[in-house]
Each structure stands twice: as structure tokens, then as C-alpha cells.
Structure 1
Amino acid sequence: MQHRKSVVLIIVGAMLWGTTGTAQSFAPLASPIAIGAIRLAFGGLTLLVLLFVQRKLLISSKSIPYIIAASIAMAAYQPLFFSAVLQTGVAIGTVVAIGSAPVFSGILEWLIQRQIPEKKWWLSTALSILGCALLVSNGDSIRVDLIGIVMALGAGLSFAVYTLISKRLVRTYLPDTIVAVVFTLSALMLSPLLFFYDLSWLLEINGLLVALHLGILATGLAYLLYARGLVGVSSATAVTLSLTEPLTASLLGVLIVGEVLSLMSWIGIGLLFSGLTILSLPSKKRHRGSLSL
């Protein structure tokens, strides 16, 4: 029951992430990096205020190093991902960043926790990554840039590290507390970047509404659901389930923005959906292997 609940929470959270692109299409022209910093600030501060009012903001000093590490990982993800997309294009940047995150997560679980992901994780992750690759290609021209690839891999690693640390923290603290503190610190870390970008778009109605949506719903609430879902699944499983994001983004693009997907992209959607469905099914036997030294 806990596994099923966690899967649902993570998928719903990833679906909220998937609304980011559609929401930005209604906003004035703004830098993706600036938007990334603003959404962290809005999301983190909103949760922080709610927790402060409810007097649930309690953190032990022993956990501060882990919280700082998670904050650095999340702060690094934003500029790395958007810079990778600008450098090497949406298709390659998205596939490498989002597709590498589950792989890095599985490797980290293996190296740090000495846990081998179960067999269905390997199958579902392979199907999901292949589906994601076909989905975002959509007939666009492909250009490979080494710096962009490295940045995208850095983004994937950052998300995997954030998930692994958050998984550890939610064993001790409320997920609400972890998300609020981590995202507020991440926003503070990224705040110097805002001096280099034009933020006048926040003064426009469309810009403010989009910022509020991205911050409160697509970031604060989305990551809160994701953190709560980490209670019942492994970090590797959670990261693979987060591939619901590109699936949602593509379907919203078709239904709301009017985008047209190629046959290859629809095949990608089918593979991605199949992979996520396999991973969502409860295991008959929860097996965790370990490696001997």
C-alpha cells in the first residue's frame, strides 16, 4: 500500500513539473536561468512561511551538512540543465540530463548504499529512457556539443544526488520541512545570478501569474509530493518515475499549445508509458541485493 501511494505521489509531482514548459509559453520572454531561480525562491519561501506558521520548522544541527549538500545539488541542477539545453539543443540536452539521472541514481545506490536495483527497474528505466529519446527528438535537427553534454550529465547527476540525500532526510524529518529549507537555501545560492538578468517581466500580469504557478505548484507542491513519495520507494525508482515529466509536457504541448508530434515521438510516448507502468506495479517480492567487497 505504501509503495502504491508513493508511486502516485511521485507521478503527480512529476506531472506538475511537466506543466513548466506550457506555463512558460504564456509568459513574457525571460531567461530560463532566471526563471529557474525565481521558481525556487517562490516555492521554497511559500513552504517555509507555512511551516513557520505551523511551527513545524525543526532541524537538528547534525543534519545541516546533508541539507546543505541537497541544496547545492538542487541549485546546480537549474543552471546546468538550462545551459545544456541552450548549448546543445532541447533534444540532446533533455535526453542526456533527464535520461542520465536514473542511471546515476542506480549507480549511487550501488556504490553508497550497496543496493542493487531490482530487475524490473532496469527494464523500465531502459524503456523509459529510450521512449524519452524518441519523444523529444520529434524530427528536430540534432547537434552534439561536448560542453553541453557535460553540463547535461552534471544536471542528471545533481538531480540524482538531491534525490539520494532527500531519501535519507525524509526518514527523520517531515518532507515538508526538507523541501522548504532545501529550496530556500538553493534560491539564496542562485540569487546572485538574478543581477545579470532582466526581471521586469515579473511586473507584468502574465509574468507574475506564471512565476506563481511555477514556484508554488510546479516547484513547491511538486517537490513536496516527490519528497513524500520517497518515503516508500528507493531513490533509483523515484528518479525513473520522474520521467513522467517529459511525457506530461509533450501531451500538454499537443492539447494546449497545439504542437504536432511525429510518429516517432508517439512511439516514444508508448515506450515511456510502458516503462513507467512496469515500475508502478508492486513487486511480488521486494528483493534488495548487496555486493560483497
Structure 2
Amino acid sequence: MDQRNDLSGVALVLAAGVLWGTVGPAQVFADSSAAPVTLGGARILTGGVVLALTVLLTRPGAFRTLTRASWPPLLAASCATGIFQAAFMSSVARTGAAVATAVAFGIAPVSTGIVERIALGTRLTRAWAIGTATAIAGCALVMTPDGPIHVDPYGVLFGVVGGCCFGVYTVSAKRLTGNGVNMTAAVAVTLLIGGTFLAPWTLSGLPELGTARSLLLVAWLGPVTAALAYSFFVAGLRRVAAATAGTLSLAEPLVATALAMLFLGERMSVPVAAGSVLLLGGLAVVSLPGRPSRRSAGVEGAADGQGVTVRTARRRVRRGSV
């Protein structure tokens, strides 16, 4: 299976990455007393509730599109969503935001490409390989810590788990897009089930979530960075390959770095500047629409030739020449 990229799909996936990139800076700016896993659970639960209510009010029958055949990828996406939140935020807590982001989002494009190749049989192009390698190198430079680097082995392991979960989610959602499923309903279900996995931490942190800072933070994280961002992401998946979407997700650390410089007073060092250029270049490479393969071109040509033959035969029948 070989899929060419559509620029509208690229724009949707990038829009999701931009919204996801606001999560870290918003968390720092709000300075909430709630634990990271508590915030992660509240984020996806709130986003799931918002999307579910939207579906019920606008298209009540949409949940009926979730047939028995759609539940395996739906459950896989749900598990990946919940585990990603816990793993990534635990990685941040143990080894710092810079290292955790570099590990998780450096792994994500590779894991997405591998999972898509295994599960969907999608051919990984040379442009994807070059663009992904360039973007990962840029991500590593962008997330270079200013001070001493604290690398916790378990923190790195959590980051790897998070990156692998992102790949599983992306490919699972990609499979759902081809099954006639209403994707808004599907995203609502994945967020709600994923949030249920984190419910023990969310419930234990309710006092901290009840503060004004936490409520404002969750009001942004849930409806915008979860409900809206995931909706953009799965809509884009209809038009781009899952591996491409995984690489485009690297826009998230780039946006987070830009917001940190604009609103949190961080400065752009030489490695960050170089990394930004590499990251943007890599994203540009994987965003380019692919060329049709010779095999698909031959099939299209054969189909066109057959169509011409049929039309010619019909004309001859009308003229009595056959």
C-alpha cells in the first residue's frame, strides 16, 4: 500500500502539532499544583467529554458507526492514549522536559513508520527516511538543555514507551479512517477510555485540580489541545500516510520552544537555532506530495486505456459498425 500526501492533510496534522506544542508552556505558565499525571488524565477526560457531547448534539447516530470490526484498533488507540500520557509525563518528572521530549518525539516518527509498515504494509519512501532523520536531528538540537543534563535511565525508558505509544495510536487511528467510522466519535471514545486508565491519579488529585490556576489550565488543555487537536490529527490522517503524520508531529517541540522564548523568557542558543532549521527542513521534505509509483501509474494508464476502448466500442455500436 502506497499513499501520497495531500497538502490539506499535512496542514491539519501540523495544526494538531501546533496545539500540542502549547501544552508544556501552558503548564509552566499556569504553575498548577496538580501532579503531571493528574493533569494528563484531566486533559484527555475533559477532551473526551467535550467531543462526546459535540457528537451527541450534532450527529447522535455517529456512535453507531463504531462497529465490532472497528473495536480492535479503537481499543489499541485508547490504550496508547492513556499510556502515552502517563509515560511521557513520568519521563518529564524523572529526567526533565528537554530530554523527555527529545526521546519521546525522536522515537515517535520511527515507531510510527515501523508499525505502519508491519500493520498496513505501507511503503516507506526515501523522502520520508531523509526528512525524518533530518527532523529527528533537529529535534535533538532544539531540545538541548541549557544547564547540566540529568539523564535518568527510567525517565529515558518512559520516554521510549511514550514514543512507541504515539506510533501505535497513529497507525490505529489510520486504520479506523478506512472503516467508515465517524472519527469524531472514535476520538471521543479513545480519549474517554484512555482517561479512565488514569482515573485513579485524576481522582486523587481533585483538590489540586479545583484551584483557579488548574481549572484554567484544564479548560485549555482539554477542549483545545485534546479535543480539537486530536480531531485535526485524525482528519489529516485521511489524507497523509501515518508515517508522515508521525514525523509532522515533531512540530510540537518546535512550537513549544518558540513559545518558551516568546513568553517564558528563554533565549535561542546556536544549537537551538540550527536545530530549528533542520527540523523545519525535515518537515518540509516529508510534507511534499509524493509521486505516483510506476506500478500505480501503469494501473491508472491501463484503466484509462480500457475506458477509451469501452467508449470507442459504444460509439461503434451506435453507428452500427460492430
Q: What's the TM-score once normalised by structure 2's chain length?
A: 0.85
Q: Residue 178 of structure 1: which of 156, 163, 186 is its match?
A: 186
Q: Which amino acid aligns with 1:17?
A: W
* Secondary structure of 1:116 counterpart: coil
* Secondary structure of 1:249 counterpart: helix
Q: Does 1:57 align with 2:60?
A: no
1:44-87, CA deviations, whole angstroms, 9 ceiling, x for partnerless residues?
A: 11000111122122221222222112101111001111111222
Q: Provide the residue aligned with 2:50 in structure 1.
A: 46
Q: Residue 155 of structure 2: which of 148, 157, 160 is its match?
A: 148
Q: Which amino acid aligns with 2:22?
A: T
Q: Provide the residue aligned with 1:191 in structure 2.
A: 199
Structure 2 unaligned regions, length at least 5? 297-322
Shift of 1:287: 7.7
Q: Does 1:66 align with 2:73?
A: yes
Q: Residue 211 of structure 1: which of 205, 218, 222 is its match?
A: 218
Structure 1 unaligned regions, length at least 5? none
- Give matches, 1:20-39, under 5 Å: 20-27=23-30, 28-39=32-43
1:89-134, CA deviations, whole angstroms, 9 ceiling, x for partnerless residues?
A: 2222211111001111111122222333111111111111111100
Q: 75-84 or 254-263, which moves further after superposition?
A: 254-263
Q: Provide the residue aligned with 1:16 in structure 2.
A: 19
Shift of 1:257: 1.9
- Give matches, 1:116-127, under 5 Å: 116-127=123-134
Aligned residues: 288
Q: Residue 169 of structure 1: which of 148, 162, 176 is its match?
A: 176
Cα–Cα, structure 1 residues 166 and 133, in superposed 2: closer, same or farther, change >3 Å?
same
Q: Provide the residue aligned with 1:269 in structure 2.
A: 276
* Secondary structure of 1:139 counterpart: coil
Q: 170-179 or 40-49, which moves further after superposition?
A: 170-179
Q: CA RMSD in A?
A: 1.9
Q: 231-240 or 58-67, which moves further after superposition?
A: 58-67
Q: What's the TM-score once normalised by structure 1's chain length?
A: 0.93
Identity %: 36
Shift of 1:263: 1.2
Cα distance in 1 for residues equivalent to 2:33 and 2:294: 49
